[in-house]
Structure 1
Amino acid sequence: MTHPARDLLKTATATLAPDPGANPLVPRIADGTAPVATLAALALEQTWVIPADRRAFEHLAVRSEATDPEAAAFFTVLAEGEALAGERLVAFARACDAEGVSYEPLSGCQAYPAYVAWLALNASPADVVLALTANFSAWGGYCATIAKALRDHYGFTDEACAFFDFFAQPSPDLDRLATAAVGAALDAGRLDERRAHTYGRLLQAYETSFWSALAEPAS
């Protein structure tokens, strides 16, 4: 018998999947036509995104610990993952000659972590679990494409690609935790599917904004 929470997560992921043509930059990285300067900007934007998301997930874990332990476990693992990703980001930035570079982040890129922070302060944790899980599917696909392109077209080492490899890999543990969190919320009547869908839709829009903002200087 299929788990209702698993069905809901799959449906949300399919419903909120971005249009294949919505990302203007990843296809250019995939075929090797994006300049290294744009890859450097990607690395530098992520040096702002990763720590911001980590702190947001830590806050969500603390918020939900007493009343929603399944969600707390999910956000704790997310925060730990962001810390690991941040360590791997250093080698990518170095490969792009972006390490230690003075940089002003783009508003279009930083809208995503700003909204994640808003969710951390305002949204029901279980609703955020559902919204984030749907968004992570698209992000993971982008990372898998970029990791391959960096090796095939840019000659980057495995170490320099490790940031994208990390997010591209499926995470059965995270899927299990997401299912448990959504399942517990469904059982307790704490999940607002309509609101979670709105959160997911906005996350995907800010995801598109991130790539669009990066693509503009490369045009």
Structure 2
Amino acid sequence: MGFADTFVTEDIQQLRRRLLFHPLWQQIEDGTLDVERLRLFALQDWWLVREAYRLDALAIASAPDLELQEMLIQKLLPKVGGYTLLLRFGEAIGLTRKDFEQVEPLAGCMALTNFFYWMLAYGSAAEKLAAVSASEDIFVQICARIGPALMRHYGLTADDVAFFTVHDEIGKQVTPIDDVLLGRFKTPEERREVVRAVRLSHEYELMFYDTVLATPVTQKG
């Protein structure tokens, strides 16, 4: 079950399938994605991960009541420290801390980041929740397949790919909270806003993955 499955349309289910089986992930699963492009993904994802605390903080600050703020804080806690696991993954595939510090976002990565910020600044309470939660949910599902594939094809250890495998545990803690939060939005207008935010979130995420695959890469010196 994906985020807001009881709300969404078949069109969004198709979007989810495109995300879950995007060529980026398919190539990792069959071991054909070159390491340089894997490094590109790690650096671009770092740009997003680095913004995660700010995004969560904005969501918490804009929550209309204390109960909602506390639930959003509970959602944040399982993710604390996750960025260090992405750095560890990057080092395992040949990146340095300097590479991460100097990363410049590609257009698809920046577009997804800006979408989240726009929703948190201007969206309704329903849209704020749905925009980020839909992305988190789909990435948890992707990671369940990618972690083992990285170990199988790229000679990485369980510690090296913990950034991916830890998402399963994060999902177990976050999904029940999302379900409670989603239950607050019951009117037809709120449900329409959730569906629209989920659709846009998935479309921007597709743009991000497309950009990672389409951008030329050079051999790391």
Return the TM-score normalized by structure 2: 0.82
Cα gap change, 1:91/1:140 in structure 2, threshold over 3 Å: closer, same or farther? same
Q: Please state if 1:25 is matched with 2:24.
A: yes
Shift of 1:70: 4.1
Contact 1:127 1:195 in 2 (8 A): yes
Q: 1:105-124 maps to which residues of 2 (within 5 A)?
A: 105-124=105-124
2:154 aligns to what? 154
Q: How does 1:201-212 map to 2 (within 5 A)?
A: 201-212=199-210
- 1-side partners of 2:148 and 2:92: how far apart? 15
Maintained 8 Å contact 1:70/1:181 = no
- Between the aligned partners of 1:77 and 1:164, the Cα distance in structure 2 is 21
1:177-211 Cα distance to aligned partner (Å, 9 max, x none)? 2222222343xx69711122111111000111111
Cα RMSD between the aligned structures?
Answer: 2.7
State which of 9, 13, 20 in structure 1 corresponds to 2:4: 9
Letter in 2 for 1:120: L
Partner residue, 1:96:
93
Summarize the alignment of residues 30-41 of structure 1 with structure 2, pairs less than 5 Å apart. Answer: 30-41=29-40
Query: What is residue 3 of structure 1 aligned with on the other side?
Result: none
Q: Distance in 2 between matches of 1:73 and 1:165?
A: 26
Q: Greater shift after overlay, 155-164 or 119-128? A: 119-128
Size of the alignment, in residue pairs?
Answer: 210
Q: Is 1:167 aligned to 2:145, yes or no?
A: no
Q: Deviation digits for residues 66-96 of structure 1, max 9, x if unmatched?
A: x333432343234334432212111101012
Distance 2:69 2:33 in 1: 39
Partner of 2:191: 193
| Deviations 1:152-186, CA, capped at 9 Å, x for gaps | 00011111101111223463432222222222343
Answering whether residue 131 of structure 2 is matched by residue 134 of structure 1, we say: no
Q: Secondary structure of the residue that 1:93 maps to in structure 2?
A: helix
Gaps of 5+ in 1: 1-5
* Larger mean Cα displacement after TM superposition, 128-137 or 32-41: 128-137
**Matching residue's letter, 1:123:** G
1:35 Cα offset (Å): 0.7
Name the counterpart of 2:57.
Answer: 58
